[in-house]
Amino acid sequence: MRVVIQRVSEAAVTIAGTVRGRIGRGLLVLVGVEEADTEADLEWLCGKIPRVRVFDDAQGVMNLSVQDVGGEVLVVSQFTLLASTRKGHRPSYCRAAKPDAARPLYERFVARLGQHLGRPVQTGEFGAMMAVSLVNDGPVTLVMDSKLRE
């Protein structure tokens, strides 16, 4: 699995003009599921994301996690995170899991992340055309890949 994590002061996902998920201060997590992903990939990410220290402490040092600051999390599925641009000019998505394999893993990711966080997370809708709006705070953006463990 590959995720892009953005520290936000607010974020929302809208589907067909209706807001599906909205958060204030917290993390926007874009998630791409790869064909080779397993429960171990999901667990590694769900253990890391709530504890990654990207929020400032009293001294202005990024030393606090989303859990520490009582922040919220919005998770949005995004298969394009697994694009390969190695050949030509049109990205290839052959590493991305097919929807019947990706959807259950994505749904377990959302549930498990909520368990690690200690509260439910907001989401978009798997496979839907979504408009994501955000105010990136910092900006702070991280990429994590469960296969590379970074």
pLDDT tens-digit map of 80-94:
999 888 888 988 888
Predicted pLDDT of residue 149: 87
Q: List the catalytic residues.
A: 78-80
Tens digit of pLDDT for each residue in 2-37?
A: 999 999 999 999 999 999 999 999 999 999 999 999
Report d(CA 32, CA 145) in Å as an integer.
10
Going by C-alpha positions, the residue among 62, 73, 56 that lies closest to residue 22 is 73
Given a contact cutoff of 8 angstroms between Cβ atoms, the answer to whether 41 and 147 are in contact is yes
